[in-house]
Structure 1
Amino acid sequence: MSARDVAVLGAAMHPWGKWGRGFVEYGVKAARDALADAGVDWRDVGSIVGADTVRGGYPGYVSGATFAKALGWQGARVTSVYAACASGAQAVQTARTQILAGLADVVLVVGADAAPKGFFRPAGGDRPDDPDWLRFRVLGATNPAYFGLYARRRMAVHGDTLADFAQVKVKNAAMGALNPYARYRKTVTTEEVAASAVVADPLRLLDICATSDGAAALVLSSVDFARRHGAPDPVRIRAVSTVTPEYPQTVLDLPDIATDSAAVAAPPARPFRAAIAHAAYEEAGIGPDELSLAEVYDLSTALELQWYEDLALCGEGEAAKLLRDGATALGGRVPVNASGGLASFGEAVPAQAIAQVCELTWQLRGTAGARQVPGARVGITANQGLFGHGSSVIAVR
């Protein structure tokens, strides 16, 4: 056990979908269920950390206080954090830091969103120094267009095929069908993926995740508190990586579009997503060969394949073979997205990195039901937030 471990006492989610209600309602439901799962009274929580949503107006910008008020003011510390899709990991890191610093024994972490229909648009006004804003405004490249560019690059560089991309969706849909919190609980075939509408060539509709409403919450505590509370062997968070890219990469780690590598004096040691995972492994003292499962950020089927390589589950260019061999399916060497992933949930941005930790918690407890990974002991999450926010959590049992 590491001296920097914190315990996961409670984990809960509000089901993903399009429910037509506000993010506060979703978050409060997840928070109360997480407290019940932990067996902790709200009045015993010393701090609440909220992952912000930019779609919720001012209450979304101060989500920690918003949830504290909705649950009932009781004097706890409050923090609100924003890091786009990495907001949940930043919230977990903030809670962990407070616990390890002795500022609180028990911290509630909550993220919730009520997403618009269609793809996300840039928020927060003009940002001409932000490559993400520029790709929207100058290139007109929405998120699906960006995903398509990534897919096309993998096809050109590594020989990935449309059938490989479709198989990722088939795998994740099969696991998502077993998850009561997933929005899409229906298995699909490769033929159905191929027959779905082209959105951003080569990606079809079923290759790309939706936008969703949803929420997730965790109750974290010191290991000593967990033991006193009757949990002698809790799931523990051992590492949280929130690293940034290394110069000269762009903050988005763009897929080598119209770039001239000869003009780069010294390339970074590793690509951004690989650096996110490396930092988590290094902090945890754990290698990829020790993983029982992984929850990754599958905005598109092609991006999931990229994560296999970035997490060092296989060598560069070997992701499709790993998939074809069944290694990342339930029953394989290292199941990826046993929850069903974003393919089955869609994006509820501030909640998704927290939801990944919920899945690790249930898997490591052995309570994931029909999608249980047998003997799960170590799990990793991975995603990234815009403007250089890393996001990876390693949990152990």
Structure 2
Amino acid sequence: MSVVVAGAGMHPWGKWGRNFVEYGVHAARAALADAGIPWTDVDLVVGGETVRNGYAGYVAGSTFAQALGWNGARIATSYAACATGAQAIDTARARILAGMSDVAVVVGADTTPKGFLAPNAGERWDDPDWLRFRLLGMTNPAYFALYARRRMDLYGATAEDFARVKVKNAQHGLSNPNARYRKEVSVDDVLSSAVVSDPLHLLDICATSDGAAAVVLTSEKFAREHGIATPVRVSAVSTVTPTFPNTVIDMPLLATDSSAVTGAPERTFKESIAHAAYEEAGLAPDDVDVAEVYDLSTALELDWIEDLGLCKRGEAEVLLRAGDTAIGGRIPVNPSGGLACFGEAVPAQAIAQVCELVWQLRGQADGRQVEGARVGITANQGLFGHGSSVILTR
């Protein structure tokens, strides 16, 4: 038994300055229209929590259910930082597989402030996010730059390689009607933009955005009985924690008892996410036709290509330079344009990736279609064990 993605919908991303609920309702209605399913048939609403939008954002499932019109559906709300949307999908999928739901709407939406995402105000000495922002000055671009510098040191990546990722994704996003940025850029454009955190330039780093995405999930029985054509199936959702040596956590939060460390991790956190997804789906990296990955920075996209097993360690730049990760190449990555063209709308972005793969696997991604795509994978990393990967198949 599997779960079918019957419908996908989005609100275009940008800086609209409106209430996040408006965006989410727009996306949910678009997904329902795409599925051809009336709102009255929905028996479950799962909302992706948004921490920046007050109490309504904390109870997003209830908020969206009320805004769409109370119809007696059950509700749930998920939060997993940047992996929120995938966890919300997993929540809905679990109830459908358990026979407790037939039709679920999963929706994530956000309204974000301008500039870097930061934790809420106040002193929280047991919150690693607060510590890195307030005490170390480590806004997101600073640790993106550490990852980038690591690639340069280990694999010989260059600033030009990072710029090529942006050029590719900008080209992909040109035909995406939901993308915020739809403009070609050159390597020189990227390298001449302001340095934010060396070696990353402004155009290497994604923006923060307003936006929304939603999917309608159904049981296979419901899809069959209602004649849903060309069904795309959720073959795996991985929301695993890292595989890591045993440690004893003490206070403060970051302190560990080094005597409890028992050995090296079997695989990195991001490799663990992918491994669990492939294992559940009964697939391997060679089966993947298209990938939507979490390109908070251009350098991070290159890491994800390797973490998903789409090439060996240190070979992502080789694929990039050869055009293999572009549409028409061996393994297109971020045909939607990725976060480079969308920006971050945190509870929506993992769902947006699934929307893109649905359209790709149906052959409906006009102007950016990956021909013959039948297996797609997504990847996201929220903080502290909130990673995710979703595999869709047709």
TM-score, normalised by the number of residues in structure 1: 0.94
1:224 to 2:221 alignment: yes
Letter in 2 for 1:321: V
Once residues 94 and 123 of structure 1 are traced to their aligned partners in structure 2, the CA distance between those partners, rounded to angstroms, is: 27
Please state how far the C-alpha of 1:62 moved relative to its aligned partner: 0.2
Q: Indicate conservation of the 8 Å contact 1:249/1:268, yes or no.
A: no
1:318 to 2:354 alignment: no
Q: Indicate conservation of the 8 Å contact 2:246/2:262, yes or no.
A: no
Letter in 2 for 1:320: E
Q: Find the counterpart in structure 1 of residue 142 from structure 2.
A: 145
SS at match of 1:394: strand
Letter in 1 for 2:293: V
Letter in 1 for 2:220: V
Alpha-carbon spacing, 1:378–1:33, altered in 2? closer, same or farther (3 Å) = same
Decide which of 119, 135, 141 is 2:116's aligned counterpart: 119
Letter in 2 for 1:210: A
Letter in 2 for 1:144: P
SS at match of 1:353: helix
1:181 to 2:178 alignment: yes
Alpha-carbon spacing, 1:263–1:77, altered in 2? closer, same or farther (3 Å) = closer
Q: Indicate conservation of the 8 Å contact 1:107/1:220, yes or no.
A: yes
Q: Find the counterpart in structure 2 of residue 56 from structure 1.
A: 53
Question: Deviation per CA, 1:306-362, whole angstroms, max 9, x where unpaired?
Answer: 001100111111111111111100100110000000000000000000000000000
Q: How does 1:44-83 map to 2 (within 5 A)?
A: 44-83=41-80
Once residues 228 and 196 of structure 2 are traced to their aligned partners in structure 1, the CA distance between those partners, rounded to angstroms, is: 48
Decide which of 276, 295, 298 is 1:298's aligned counterpart: 295
Please state how far the C-alpha of 1:390 moved relative to its aligned partner: 1.6
Please state how far the C-alpha of 1:246 moved relative to its aligned partner: 2.3
Q: Find the counterpart in structure 1 of residue 210 from structure 2.
A: 213
Question: Deviation per CA, 1:250-281, whole angstroms, max 9, x where unpaired?
Answer: 9xxxxxxxxxx999651110110111011000
Once residues 351 and 273 of structure 2 are traced to their aligned partners in structure 1, the CA distance between those partners, rounded to angstroms, is: 17
Identity of counterpart residues, as a percentage?
Answer: 70
Letter in 2 for 1:330: I
Q: Indicate conservation of the 8 Å contact 1:130/1:387, yes or no.
A: no
Q: How does 1:1-397 map to 2 (within 5 A)?
A: 3=1, 5-123=2-120, 125-248=122-245, 265-397=262-394
Question: Deviation per CA, 1:126-179, whole angstroms, max 9, x where unpaired?
Answer: 443443332112211100111111111111111100010000000000001110
Q: Indicate conservation of the 8 Å contact 2:174/2:182, yes or no.
A: yes
Letter in 2 for 1:206: L
Alpha-carbon spacing, 1:174–1:262, altered in 2? closer, same or farther (3 Å) = farther
Once residues 127 and 291 of structure 1 are traced to their aligned partners in structure 2, the CA distance between those partners, rounded to angstroms, is: 42
Question: Deviation per CA, 1:201-229, whole angstroms, max 9, x where unpaired?
Answer: 10000000000000000000001100111
Q: Indicate conservation of the 8 Å contact 2:45/2:61, yes or no.
A: yes
Q: Find the counterpart in structure 1 of residue 252 from structure 2.
A: none
Q: Extract unaligned runs of 5+ from structure 2.
A: 248-257
Q: Indicate conservation of the 8 Å contact 2:246/2:261, yes or no.
A: no
Once residues 160 and 146 of structure 1 are traced to their aligned partners in structure 2, the CA distance between those partners, rounded to angstroms, is: 17
Once residues 153 and 34 of structure 2 are traced to their aligned partners in structure 1, the CA distance between those partners, rounded to angstroms, is: 47
Once residues 284 and 128 of structure 1 are traced to their aligned partners in structure 2, the CA distance between those partners, rounded to angstroms, is: 40
Q: Find the counterpart in structure 1 of residue 254 from structure 2.
A: none
Q: Indicate conservation of the 8 Å contact 2:159/2:199, yes or no.
A: yes
Q: Indicate conservation of the 8 Å contact 2:293/2:301, yes or no.
A: yes
Once residues 351 and 289 of structure 1 are traced to their aligned partners in structure 2, the CA distance between those partners, rounded to angstroms, is: 28
Letter in 2 for 1:199: V
Letter in 2 for 1:385: G
Q: Indicate conservation of the 8 Å contact 2:191/2:201, yes or no.
A: yes
Letter in 2 for 1:311: L
Once residues 74 and 184 of structure 1 are traced to their aligned partners in structure 2, the CA distance between those partners, rounded to angstroms, is: 37
Letter in 1 for 2:76: T
Letter in 1 for 2:11: H
Once residues 126 and 101 of structure 1 are traced to their aligned partners in structure 2, the CA distance between those partners, rounded to angstroms, is: 42
SS at match of 2:133: helix
TM-score, normalised by the number of residues in structure 2: 0.95
Letter in 1 for 2:281: A
SS at match of 1:369: coil
Once residues 218 and 123 of structure 2 are traced to their aligned partners in structure 1, the CA distance between those partners, rounded to angstroms, is: 40
Q: Which moved more, 1:47-56 or 1:226-235?
A: 226-235
Question: Deviation per CA, 1:99-150, whole angstroms, max 9, x where unpaired?
Answer: 0011110000000000000000113754434433321122111001111111
Number of corresponding residues: 384
Once residues 278 and 326 of structure 1 are traced to their aligned partners in structure 2, the CA distance between those partners, rounded to angstroms, is: 26
SS at match of 2:152: helix
